[in-house]
């Protein structure tokens, strides 16, 4: 569950439900909530710490999956799976990126690679397992089994032990908003309230020009990020006549992504400072090129090669994201930097697959 961005059971159900318009938006809502909640998660992480935030988030996600097994209407599943599970996953995921910066300053890239490679293992095995389990056991029982993973994650998050002070704590000699000493203490309640809001929602990271360019650039680039994964099943069926071999592609992209996270995590540690951004830019360019190559694949083996390369690039993009944030704004504001980045990614990443579906529908018509 460590990775955007990369909850395997979420992506699996998202891919199933995309075939029916209404059900597709249940998975899309959950995916979107992971990113929409990120700025708020940053505030909670800074205020309550990584451990409490991750434990509570994983427990909420556990409740979301568990209650989804009892949901009998689509509207209820929008709440239990889309909102509860999505929000809980966001609160559980983001602190796992932040806490690594407390322990690994010299080898942060490799540490991120090792941690996020865990999600690749699940993305290889879990979709195949779920495909075999959902039929005999049914969707409600499957949700209950998946909820156990989130409960275990809640217990594992208890091991988080932050080694640095909160990012929102003002430095000695500074005012409540982190700026120069002022007369806020003697100001009106309204001004004090505004100061608290500014303190919790720290937007100082946007004062760093490099961070602004990087964050908005990444948000723009991820518009098509999930499109190949979500529409993979339909493409294989149209191009090759069946989806029986789809699991091969899932295993290939999961395995290569895991290798990429370990490999590029190590390489990222060897690249000094913000020059790591160049490696991420290269991965985005290759991801785009490979996405363009998918329709050109006339044989299944060619599609396998394309997805292996996409997995390597995906691993690079995910692994290097947190180290770049730490380099741009420093460890004290890294939580806010990561949170705002994921928040900016929310709309384009969530809207990409439905937009691609509408474009395809227009072309067919």
pLDDT at 62: 95
Asked whether the beta carbons of 18 and 27 are under 8 A apart, the reply is yes
In degrees, rounded to 5, the angle at the alpha carbon of residue 149 between the alpha carbons of residues 147 and 155 is 110
Backbone conformation region of residue 330, classed left if phi is above 0, alpha if psi is from -120 to 50, else beta: left
Domains of the chain: 8-161+201-364 (1.20.1250.20)
pLDDT at 22: 54
Q: How far is residue 224's CA from residue 287's CA, in Å, rounded to a whole number?
A: 9
Q: How far is residue 360's CA from residue 102's CA, in Å, rounded to a whole number?
A: 45
pLDDT at 211: 92
Q: How far is residue 67's CA from residue 321's CA, in Å, rounded to a whole number?
A: 33
DSSP string, 34-93: HHHTHHHHHHHHHHH-HHHHHHHHHHHHHHHHHHHTT--SHHHHIIIIIIIIHHHHHHHH
Cβ-proximal residues to 6 (8 Å cutoff; 6+ apart), any chain:
116, 119, 120, 123, 318
Q: How far are the Cα atoms of 98, 164, 323, 334 from residue 105, in angstroms, in the given order?
A: 12, 12, 9, 12
pLDDT tens over the chain, length 365 residues = 444 444 544 455 544 444 445 566 677 788 788 888 888 888 888 888 888 999 999 999 999 999 998 988 888 888 999 899 999 999 998 888 788 877 777 777 788 788 877 777 777 777 777 778 888 888 888 889 889 989 998 998 898 877 665 554 433 333 434 444 444 444 577 766 666 666 666 778 888 899 999 999 999 998 888 888 777 777 887 777 766 677 788 788 888 888 888 888 888 888 888 889 999 999 999 999 998 898 888 888 888 899 999 989 988 888 888 889 888 988 788 888 888 998 898 888 878 777 877 777 777 65
User: Per-residue pLDDT tens for 66-76?
Assistant: 999 898 888 88
pLDDT at 87: 92
pLDDT at 169: 41
pTM of the shown model:
0.74
pLDDT at 170: 38
pLDDT at 253: 83
pLDDT at 66: 93
pLDDT at 285: 93
């Amino acid at each position: 569950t460590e990775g955007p961005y990369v909850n395997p059971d979420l992506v699996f159900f998202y891919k199933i439900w995309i075939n029916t318009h209404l059900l597709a938006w249940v998975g899309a809502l959950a995916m979107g909530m992971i990113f929409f909640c990120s700025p708020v998660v940053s505030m909670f992480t800074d205020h309550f710490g990584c451990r409490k935030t991750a434990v509570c988030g994983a427990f909420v996600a556990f409740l979301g999956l568990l209650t989804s097994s009892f949901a009998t209407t689509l509207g209820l599943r929008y709440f239990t799976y889309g909102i509860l599970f999505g929000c809980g996953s966001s609160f559980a995921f983001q602190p796992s990126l932040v806490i690594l910066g407390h322990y690994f300053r010299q080898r942060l890239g490799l540490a991120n690679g090792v941690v996020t490679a865990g999600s690749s293992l699940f993305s290889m095995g879990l979709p195949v397992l779920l495909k075999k389990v959902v039929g005999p056991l049914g969707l409600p029982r499957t949700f209950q089994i998946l909820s156990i993973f989130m409960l275990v994650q809640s217990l594992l998050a208890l091991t988080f032990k932050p080694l640095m002070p909160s990012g929102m704590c003002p430095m000695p000699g500074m005012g409540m908003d982190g700026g120069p000493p002022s007369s806020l203490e003697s100001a009106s309640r309204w001004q004090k309230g505004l100061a608290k809001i500014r303190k919790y929602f720290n937007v100082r990271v946007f004062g760093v020009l490099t961070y602004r360019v990087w964050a908005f650039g990444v948000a723009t680039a991820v518009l098509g990020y999930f499109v190949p994964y979500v529409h993979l099943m339909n493409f294989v069926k149209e191009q090759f006549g069946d989806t029986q071999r789809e699991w091969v592609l899932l295993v290939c992209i999961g395995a290569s992504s895991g290798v990429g996270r370990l490999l590029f995590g190590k390489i990222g540690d060897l690249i000094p400072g913000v020059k790591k951004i160049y490696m991420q830019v290269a991965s985005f360019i290759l991801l785009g090129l490979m996405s363009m190559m998918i329709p050109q694949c006339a044989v299944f083996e060619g599609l396998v090669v394309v997805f292996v390369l996409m997995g390597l690039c995906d691993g690079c993009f995910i692994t290097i994201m947190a180290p770049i944030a730490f380099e741009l704004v420093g460890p004290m504001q890294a939580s806010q930097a990561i949170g705002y980045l994921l928040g900016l990614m929310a709309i384009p990443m969530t809207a990409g697959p439905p937009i691609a579906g509408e474009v395809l529908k227009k072309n067919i018509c």
